């Protein structure tokens, strides 16, 4: 925050207060642009004007605004959250300017607050795609929406989140984020680890994507079936934040154009009915404490387009169900509060 201005003792004049520092959510802003514009990463509120014979009350220092992208969480160095900015135009004061000198302070001004802050950007999307590399998430996002992610068949996967918009005939739009791919051990911050998982926290629902024929990450790692993949993904989410596993989720079984896909899908569905019986192939530390329950299991082929329209309507129905439930809960709460007030009144 800016320092206050000097007071004027013999006339009782008051110095202006220093300017405050605000963080403001703005459109088309990125963290990189902030970094490029302010390489020193230092922000100062304006200094309050001194009291003078011409202006006994000094002018207030100018406020400093730091424009940030929507979705930023502001935390202290110690990790305490000061606030979140989720809507364009939202403002958060992060450092107050000092007071101007006055009779109470023997006309001496005070310095502004000094704080070391951290800006964390978490994406806000309706649905987050969760899957290991090569499960075909990028191809799926392209098939579902108007996003054009770079698609390649390699294990190192999408490095920055891609957001696709699903468009519906009634003009409703649903945003789907393909987040940097999970790898085994993401919770302990291997690969993109935590960067990926913090984005998952902000999505309303999860879309697990698995390859119907399973996958092998590298020649040294074990082959994982589609069922194993579901359990490992669940475990990664659980180890990062237990409550992520209770988010509403759909399971997309991709690559249904491959040979034997139908048999493998039937096997996966059976395994998901009784997950306890099929976890013996996984090491103990990879078995989740709670198994995911999926609202729907949807077979698709991102490369041929099979099942894509059905998946779009499943995503829409699932989000609408939740919106309806939230709406009902809100109205019930309002009615109860109203009833309570009426009761008090009577």
Q: Which domains does the chain have, with CATH numbers?
A: 9-121 (2.70.210.12), 127-325 (3.40.50.300)
Chain length of the chain: 346
Closest by CA position to 32, among listed 119, 117, 90: 119
Residue 185 is predicted with a pLDDT of: 52
At residue 114, does pLDDT exceed 70?
Answer: yes
Residue 182 is predicted with a pLDDT of: 57
Least confident of 118-127, 137-146, 239-248: 118-127
At residue 121, does pLDDT exceed 80?
Answer: no
At residue 336, does pLDDT exceed 90?
Answer: no
Name the pLDDT band for 83 (thresholds 50, 70, 90): very high
C-alpha pair distances (Å), 154 with each of 132, 190, 215, 300:
11, 17, 12, 21
Q: Which residues, 6+ apart, have CB-to-CB distance to 127 below 8 Å?
A: 174, 175, 176, 177, 203, 204, 205, 206, 207, 315, 319
Q: Which position has the higher pLDDT, 116 or 187?
A: 116
At residue 294, does pLDDT exceed 60?
Answer: yes
Residue 207 is predicted with a pLDDT of: 95
CA–CA separation, 21 vs 112, rounded Å? 10
Within the chain, residue ranges assigned H as helices are: 31-37, 137-144, 193-200, 226-240, 261-273, 308-345
| Phi, psi torsion values for 192, nearest 5 degrees | -85, -10
* Mean of pLDDT over the chain: 86
Q: Give percent above pLDDT 90 in the chain.
A: 51
Name the pLDDT band for 140 (thresholds 50, 70, 90): very high
CB atoms within 10 A of CB 51: 27
Q: Which position has the higher pLDDT, 27 or 110?
A: 110
Query: What is the DSSP pairing of strand 205-211 with strand 127-130?
Result: parallel
Q: Which position has the higher pLDDT, 286 or 266?
A: 266
Tokens of 217: 């990450």
Residue whose token pair is 């519906």: 168
C-alpha pair distances (Å), 170 with each of 87, 266, 273, 315, 316:
25, 34, 36, 15, 12
At residue 137, does pLDDT exceed 90?
Answer: no
- The DSSP secondary-structure symbol of 171 reads S
Residue 192 is predicted with a pLDDT of: 46
Asked if 137 and 181 count as a contact pair (C-beta separation under 8 A), the reply is: yes
Asked if 125 and 144 count as a contact pair (C-beta separation under 8 A), the reply is: no
Residue 184 is predicted with a pLDDT of: 47
Kindly report the pTM of this predicted structure: 0.65
**For the segment 7-61, what is each residue's pLDDT rounded down to a tens digit?**
999 999 999 999 999 999 998 888 888 989 999 999 999 999 999 999 999 999 9
Q: Give the highest mean pLDDT range of 48-52, 82-86, 211-215, 221-225.
A: 48-52
């Amino acid at each position: 925050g800016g320092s206050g201005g000097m007071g004027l003792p013999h006339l009782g004049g008051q110095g202006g207060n220093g300017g405050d520092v605000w963080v403001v959510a703005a459109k088309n802003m990125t963290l990189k642009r902030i970094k490029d514009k302010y390489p020193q990463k230092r922000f100062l509120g304006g200094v309050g004007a001194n009291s003078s014979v011409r202006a006994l009350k000094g002018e207030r220092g100018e406020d400093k605004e730091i424009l940030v992208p929507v979705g930023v969480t502001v935390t202290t160095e110690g990790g305490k959250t000061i606030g979140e900015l989720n809507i364009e135009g939202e403002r958060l004061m992060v450092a107050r300017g000092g007071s101007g000198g006055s009779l109470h302070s023997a006309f001496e001004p005070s310095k502004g607050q000094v704080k070391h802050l951290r800006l964390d950007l978490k994406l806000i999307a309706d649905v987050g795609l969760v899957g290991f590399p090569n499960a075909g998430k990028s191809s799926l996002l392209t098939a579902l929406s108007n996003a054009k992610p770079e698609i390649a068949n390699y294990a190192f996967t999408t490095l920055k989140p891609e957001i696709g918009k699903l468009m519906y005939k009634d003009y409703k739009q649903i945003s789907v984020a393909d987040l940097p791919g999970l790898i085994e051990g993401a919770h302990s911050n291997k690969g993109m680890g935590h960067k990926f998982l913090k984005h998952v926290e902000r999505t309303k629902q999860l879309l697990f994507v698995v390859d119907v024929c399973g996958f092998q990450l590298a020649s040294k790692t074990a082959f994982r079936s589609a069922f194993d993949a579901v359990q490992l993904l669940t475990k990664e989410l659980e180890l990062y934040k237990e409550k992520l596993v209770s988010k509403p989720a759909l399971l997309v079984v991709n690559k249904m154009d491959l040979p034997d896909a139908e048999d493998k899908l039937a096997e996966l569905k059976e395994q998901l009915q009784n997950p306890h019986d099929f976890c013996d192939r996984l090491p103990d530390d990879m078995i989740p404490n709670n198994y995911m329950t999926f609202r729907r299991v949807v077979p698709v082929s991102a490369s041929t387009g099979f099942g894509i329209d059905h998946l779009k309507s499943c995503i829409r129905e699932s989000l609408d169900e939740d919106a309806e439930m939230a709406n009902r809960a809100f109205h019930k709460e309002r009615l109860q509060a109203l009833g309570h007030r009426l009761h008090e009144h009577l």
